[in-house]
Amino acid sequence: QVQLIESGGGLVQAGGSLRLSCVLSGRTFSAYTMGWFRQVPGKEREFVAAISWRIGRMDYKDSVKGRFTISRDNAANTVYLQMNSLKPEDTAVYFCAASGFAVATISSDYDYWGQGTQVTVSS
């Protein structure tokens, strides 16, 4: 049984930083493309970033390029999202997810999801 457990969310002022972590258990971590999505109430879940170990590729939502960095530690079965220069519009519940596709930037590409962690950026 695959489990994804996120951590690292919280309240931060605009311009601040947070690092989210997500640990996968129950499967071979390195086989998956790992992604981060976010969702605010009343809106669809949106893609934030993804990293594929197999093809050495990272993808980002345009509005987070240059501010967010996705990385992974296969030995620790963990994917990270370093978020810098945070803005109030980054406020959302952030979810990590695992996909069997080499390139995965939409939610339907993903097979497994975490429970989410709240990120709140105050102005």
pLDDT at 17 over 90: yes
Predicted local confidence at residue 27, as pLDDT: 82
pLDDT at 53 over 90: no
pLDDT at 15 over 90: yes
Tens digit of pLDDT for each residue in 64-74? 999 999 999 98
Predicted local confidence at residue 26, as pLDDT: 87
Q: What pLDDT band is residue 10 in, cutting at 50, 70 and 90?
A: very high
Q: What pLDDT band is residue 54 in, cutting at 50, 70 and 90?
A: confident
Of 55, 7, 5, residue with least CA distance to 26 = 5
C-alpha to C-alpha distances, 76 to 80, 90, 95, nearest whole angstrom: 11, 27, 19
